[in-house]
Structure 1
Amino acid sequence: MPVMKIERGFDIAMAARALRRNDPQLGRWMRKIGALPRDPRWTQSFDLVDALARAILYQQLSGKAAATIVGRVETAIGRAKLCAKGLAKVDDPTVRACGVSANKLLALRDLARHADQGLIPSARQLDRLTDQEIVDRLTAVRGIGRWTVEMLLMFRLGRADVFAMDDLGLRKGIQRLDELEQMPTAKQAAERAKRWAPHRTLASLYLWRVADFQG
């Protein structure tokens, strides 16, 4: 039986109505912040290996520092796309000379190995995998954690019901939303988020704004 394609993106207006109805407390913040636009990246094509390689290189670095390193790697491989074939063209010392740590180098090599073996889903395959299947497939790569995949699900694939329980910004948002003295644990945040299903992605987008709201 063929697997149905999962459309990228979701009806933001419909999800917002459901969230306001099911959680008036969040609804008040949503009205204060205003309507959120549809993310244009949901309909943009992208190379998954390139996206994961960049995610690895950006980990635990400032955006400026990571961008500098990514630029050096692009120059070293002679391509703007960090594909498996491009990474295979350069040896370890060359990659390390770009400012890539030993652990990140191992992660990049493991990503390339998975890609060479056909273990990284294509764009078409991604649209036919469930959220959990994508998490399971991609976290098998060294250096790719659940949070990284959850960000991919939210911002590139536009999946509607994703909640990154370990994200500090989301937990801070819940703390402010519920006027808690202490930031909730990851498990407590996940439990709180059940109320927003199946629209947890939009709830998350608002929670990040709640956490940073000034005024």
Structure 2
Amino acid sequence: MPPRHAKAIAHLSAVDPILGRWIAQAGPCSLTRERSGTHFAAVARSIIYQQLSGKAAGTIHARFEALFDGRSPEPHEVLKVKHTALRGIGLSERKAEYVRGLAEDVHRGRIPLERVDAMPDAEVIETLTQVRGVGEWTAQMFLMFRLGRLDVLPTLDLGIQTAIKRLYGLRSHPKPERVAKLGAKWAPYRTVASWYLWRVVDDPPQ
């Protein structure tokens, strides 16, 4: 386990005994950062995956890359593909528009994806949410799994809300404001806390 994960676990266990007990049961953190490909490809993939099951989204994404000989395309290459071709691989009308819009924004320099590594979290979210089809949740997933930022808490995420309800014995799903308040003490490792909360849903406590 990377040293920063060990440090995060020690902090989370110290400030939150309930979460700490679950961490001890769940085991080591295997949270990783996706470094392959480009930032553009990562955002395009997130748009394709929105509101679909993993299997269905994976199939459509594979068809998308097949349009470019099985690799992740550059923005200018996506702009050369007809809208009907994007629809033909299974993208909805709206998602096809979103992917082309992202390509246009990046190609024209309106969205400076090449600079996001140096931006603070809030600026990354502000930058990405200028793209049609990219909301706060998608931008947060980019921060967590693409940029490897350690202090992100997706308060709108249903899985996070479900996990908190189960783990802390709440009567109903907490609203985003309550999630943020509860998670304030997890800083500066709220990404790691989120990873363990998702495990509550995927592999419930015994």
Query: TM-score normalized by structure 1?
Result: 0.87
- Partner residue of 1:12 out of 5, 21, 30: 5
Q: Is the 8 A contact 2:40 2:113 kept in 1?
A: no
1:95 aligned partner: 86
Tell me how far apart the structure 2 counterparts of residues 206 and 76 of structure 1 sit (CA, whole Å).
37
- The offset of 1:210, in angstroms, is 2.1
- The offset of 1:79, in angstroms, is 5.0
1:160 aligned partner: 150
Q: Is the 8 A contact 1:77 1:90 kept in 2?
A: no
1:150 aligned partner: 140
Query: TM-score normalized by structure 2?
Result: 0.91
Structure 1 vs Structure 2: percent identity of aligned residues?
Answer: 41
Tell me how far apart the structure 1 counterparts of residues 17 and 196 of structure 2 sit (CA, whole Å).
13
Q: Which amino acid aligns with 1:153?
A: L
1:140 aligned partner: 130
Residues 214 and 26 of structure 1: CA distance in aligned 2, closer, same or farther (over 3 Å): closer
* Contiguous gaps of at least 5 residues in structure 2: none
2:41 aligned partner: 50
2:161 aligned partner: 171
Q: Is the 8 A contact 2:137 2:157 kept in 1?
A: yes
- Partner residue of 1:186 out of 176, 194, 203: 176
1:126 aligned partner: 116
Tell me how far apart the structure 2 counterparts of residues 172 and 38 of structure 1 sit (CA, whole Å).
20
Q: Is the 8 A contact 1:22 1:195 kept in 2?
A: yes
* Count, aligned residues: 204
Q: Which amino acid aligns with 2:21?
A: R
1:61 aligned partner: 52
Residues 180 and 47 of structure 1: CA distance in aligned 2, closer, same or farther (over 3 Å): same
- The offset of 1:38, in angstroms, is 5.0
